[in-house]
Structure 1
Amino acid sequence: MRVLFEDVVPVAYGQFYVVSRELPDMTKAFAGQVNGLCGAGEPGALFLMTGTHSGRVRLRVELHEREPPAAADEWEEVVEAPFVPRGATVDLVPWGDGTLAPLPLIPDGPETGPLPTFRVRYCAAGMDEGRDPFGGFDPDTLEDDDYTYMDQRPDRYLLCFWPDDAPDGAGGGPGGGPVDGFPRPDAIVLRTSRAAGYWHDWASALPAPPSLWEQVEAARRERQEQERRAEEYRRRDEARRWGGRPPGERLRRVVGNVQGIARLDRDLVDGVAGADDAVQREIAVWAARRAFAHAGIADLDWLAPAWTALRHGRPLPAEFTDPAALFARISDRHEAGGHEPGGYRIVAFARRGRGAAPSLGAMLDAPVNPVAMAVPALAAAAGPDPLQAALEALWAATTTFGTRRAEFLAEVRREFPVVDSAGPG
């Protein structure tokens, strides 16, 4: 037997602890136990109760190689509980303070493999007397600065540890070590005082902690609920981005700048998606021409190769594939010819910064440079996916028309009646 600690321990709120890492939670420490003095419900920690509410109590901590003999008659309260440390050394910790003393349960240092399960015996004497704030001292005889009653508390305690892995009957104790690999449950060996009885009754009334199976089931249900919420959020977000309802599989495969037109006119988007590839390609080329015409740049002579390529379904010549370079070239020609557009600004349709985002209608009503809005329609109309080409070209044309977008969208339906009869894609 080794004495690991023998001194006074400061206590507050009638408690102190033995911990491997974190301090234990009081309710979790005692839930499912019959005893209310030594809470061992949280792995690696012990929650220990005293009769003294605030003061310093005598404590002795012993480490035994095997189960010690029964507690001596001097002790009025005796309880036992299992303890699984998370390290070779644990700490004795007062309430609201740091480590008071290390308690090396494996003196030779950490062992390879799992740490042993220990059995602890917590003995107490004088708990009822300890509940007296002055511990038997007459407060009328104490000077104002006399705190003797805090240091000379009437209650005292013994905490014993031993490995609980001996074969049944070893060490003279009943029951020996764990049964079927599980530590023996806690037990009240001796119950005498009203103070101890109060805590035993409190602990036994706590609801039992969930079983391992219940914990696994709870984790599974929580995971399923998280997955359900994530899927629901994904569906709602997708519906919002696509104008109020989820897209079909054909639309969902489309990438690029197509969700603006979906938010503005989802019925039109579904109609275009339901048309065949040839009609979608016609819509793309037509929308690009209408955007350029509205911007006043459709009949520039040097754009003829681009329109010819679109009309025959061929790739655009390289000089027409970069919208930024094309816009710069058109702007230079306008300035050289005295046709520089004035009173416009280029606007970004992506939300930036904080605050409420403007509505789509408010953004489309802003004054813009129609040339800048129309130019992306050319490259969009030449895209490899006919549906994406049509939707991106329609969006570019819509932004070009700006406040007159309703006229343009009505013109699309007149020019291509199939978009009002085709089903969603």
Structure 2
Amino acid sequence: MRVLFDGPAPVDYGQIYVTSRELPNMEGAFAGQANGLCGAGEPDALFLMTGTHSGRVHFRIEVYDGEPSAAAEEWEEVVEVSFRPRDAVVDLVPWGDGSLAKLPLIPEGQDTGLLPAYRVRYCATGMDEGSDPFGGLDPDELDDGDYTYMDRRPDRYLLCFWPEGSPGGDPSDAVARADAILRQTSQAAAYWHGWAAGLPPAPSLWEQVEAEQLRRSERERRDEEYRRRDELRRWGGRLPTERLRQVRGNVHGIVLLDRDLVDGVAAAEAAVQRQIAIWAARRALTLAGIADLDWMTPAWTALDRGLPLPAEFADPRALWTRVLGEPPVTFSLVSLRPAGHGPADPLGAVLDAPVNPIAMALPAVVAAGESDPLQAALEALWAAVSTYAARRNEFLADVRRAFPVIAIDKSEGSPE
């Protein structure tokens, strides 16, 4: 027999624990047990109840190589549980505090191997006296400010560990036994035994697995619902086709402005999409007054022939510098409106603001040269809309007149 701890231990709320990792939950520790003094329902943890609510009680912890003899008559309460630790060293942990003492269940230097399951005997005496806040002392005889009675609690406790299974056998083969009440004397112990007996039974392993599967399914369902709602928000309240999902680049502006137009363009053939991209770029640059500049000719030629844009047309900032002779300047705008008091149509408010048509139009040329014709069309349309700004409805009507194939049959939700 080895003594692992022998001395005062602080308790609060009548609780103290043995664990090497997480502290046990009270109901989870006792669910399905007959006894309410030593809860072993959660892995790697013992939940120990004391008569004293708050104070320091005497604890002695012993570990044996085999089952010890029956508890001495001095112990009024005796219960047993089965316990499988995760580590060879566990901790005695007071409520709301760190480890009070390390408890090496396996002697130092001994090969731990596969840890055995242990049988644990929890003995107590004086629990009813400990339940008295003053521990049986007359409060009238205590001096003001004298709290030494908190360190002289009348209840005492003994915790014994020994490996389960037959001597010389493999300890990992031991089958955990049900907990048992071997001796019960005090009203305090009777109360906790009755409380434990009234708890719902602990879930079986299959029930735990099934509950975890349900939790995982519900989590996956919520995640999928969140993704669906986020996609609906980003795509203007209508889920996109798989083809639209594949489009990269800045397409969500035109999606939020005119989703029917987007669906119509997406349903068109690739050749039509490319025509729309070039048409939108020409309209935007014409409005900006730069479509017919001599140095723009190579760009239009490449686009009309389905060739990549010349390198000098791949950067809107470089084009801006070439048009105006100076690099563009970026301004940051800060709203002074209180939160929740913005415009009812924030996208419309942005598009209605005064713009530099050249700055808005130049990205349309770059967009029209994109390798994906659908992305080219949608990005060029958005650049043109940004160029037309407050006159955007005029431009959108012109798109539909120029390309009637993209008109949407509202009754069927698809292009005519």
Asked if Structure 1 and Structure 2 have the same fold, meaning a TM-score greater than 0.5 normalized by the shorter chain, the answer is yes
CA distance in 1, matches of 2:139, 2:158: 29
* Closer, same or farther: CA 372–154 of 1 in aligned 2, 3 Å: closer
CA distance in 2, matches of 1:100, 1:289: 79
SS at match of 2:182: strand
CA distance in 2, matches of 1:414, 1:113: 81
Preserved contact between residue 44 and residue 85 of structure 2 (Cα < 8 Å): yes
Aligned twin of 1:144: 144
For 1:406, which of 388, 393, 396 is the aligned residue? 393
* Closer, same or farther: CA 267–129 of 1 in aligned 2, 3 Å: same
Equivalent positions of 1:81-120 (< 5 A) are 81-109=81-109, 111-120=111-120
Q: Number of residues paired by the alignment?
A: 405
Aligned twin of 1:46: 46
Preserved contact between residue 118 and residue 162 of structure 1 (Cα < 8 Å): yes
* Closer, same or farther: CA 274–112 of 1 in aligned 2, 3 Å: same
CA distance in 1, matches of 2:130, 2:234: 68
Aligned twin of 1:338: none
**TM-score (normalizing by structure 2):** 0.88
Deviation digits for residues 163-215 of structure 1 (CA, Å, limit 9, x no counterpart): 113269x9xxxxx988x754112111111221110010011111223222222
* Closer, same or farther: CA 391–116 of 1 in aligned 2, 3 Å: same
Preserved contact between residue 88 and residue 106 of structure 1 (Cα < 8 Å): yes
Q: CA deviation at 1:61?
A: 2.0
* Closer, same or farther: CA 424–122 of 1 in aligned 2, 3 Å: farther
Aligned twin of 1:364: 351
Aligned twin of 1:239: 232
CA distance in 2, matches of 1:321, 1:53: 77
SS at match of 1:375: helix
Deviates more, 1:187-196 or 1:9-18: 9-18
Q: CA deviation at 1:146?
A: 5.0
Preserved contact between residue 345 and residue 369 of structure 1 (Cα < 8 Å): no
Preserved contact between residue 177 and residue 183 of structure 1 (Cα < 8 Å): no
Q: CA deviation at 1:355?
A: 5.8
Q: CA deviation at 1:224?
A: 1.7
CA distance in 2, matches of 1:328, 1:412: 30
* Closer, same or farther: CA 378–109 of 1 in aligned 2, 3 Å: same
Preserved contact between residue 66 and residue 167 of structure 2 (Cα < 8 Å): no
Q: CA deviation at 1:73?
A: 2.3
Identity among equivalent positions (%) equals 67
SS at match of 2:398: helix
* Structure 2 unaligned residues grouped into runs of 5+: none
Aligned twin of 2:211: 218
Deviation digits for residues 10-68 of structure 1 (CA, Å, limit 9, x no counterpart): 33332322232333332222222110111122222222222233333333222111001
SS at match of 2:56: strand
Preserved contact between residue 17 and residue 92 of structure 1 (Cα < 8 Å): yes
**TM-score (normalizing by structure 1):** 0.86
Preserved contact between residue 345 and residue 367 of structure 1 (Cα < 8 Å): no
Preserved contact between residue 247 and residue 375 of structure 2 (Cα < 8 Å): yes
* Closer, same or farther: CA 139–232 of 1 in aligned 2, 3 Å: closer
CA distance in 2, matches of 1:188, 1:94: 24
Aligned twin of 1:69: 69
Q: CA deviation at 1:319?
A: 2.3
Aligned twin of 2:177: 184
Aligned twin of 1:305: 298
Equivalent positions of 1:336-415 (< 5 A) are 359-415=346-402
CA distance in 1, matches of 2:187, 2:220: 51
* Closer, same or farther: CA 302–98 of 1 in aligned 2, 3 Å: closer
Equivalent positions of 1:240-255 (< 5 A) are 240-255=233-248
Aligned twin of 1:201: 194
